[in-house]
Amino acid sequence: MRSHTDRGRRPQASLVLLPWLVYVGVTVVAPAANGATRDPAFAEHTIVTLGVSVVVAMLWLAAGTVRNRRRVLSRTPARASERRSPSRSDNLPTLPAD
């Protein structure tokens, strides 16, 4: 059985991986299959494309991790000293029972 944190991480990585694979396929693999590897500029294009896309994917994953940590931290119960004061409705008198 997977824990709640395991379930949160797996879809996040796959959400980045699928579009990234499609992007790399279109920008690197397809031109290479059509003979672009003969051009010296293709190597530079491949390095820049893969480098930038990996950095962007890592930043996106890191931002998701920070969001998940904030979400988990916001769910933890507050200490007694940090709890908010009772709301105004808590101070209203109760009606007597019949």
Q: Would you list the domain boundaries of the chain?
A: 4-75
The sign of the torsion formed by the CA atoms of 1, 75, 10, 51 equals negative
Q: Give per-residue pLDDT as tens, 13-65.
A: 667 688 888 999 999 999 999 999 999 999 999 999 999 988 988 888 788 77
Write down the pLDDT at residue 59: 86
> Between the CA of residue 84 and those of 3, 78, 79, 80, 88, what are the distances in Å?
31, 9, 10, 9, 12
pTM of the predicted model as reported, rounded to 2 decimal places = 0.52
* Dihedral of alpha carbons 59, 62, 68, 73, sign: negative
| Rounded Cα–Cα distance for residues 53 and 19 (Å) | 11
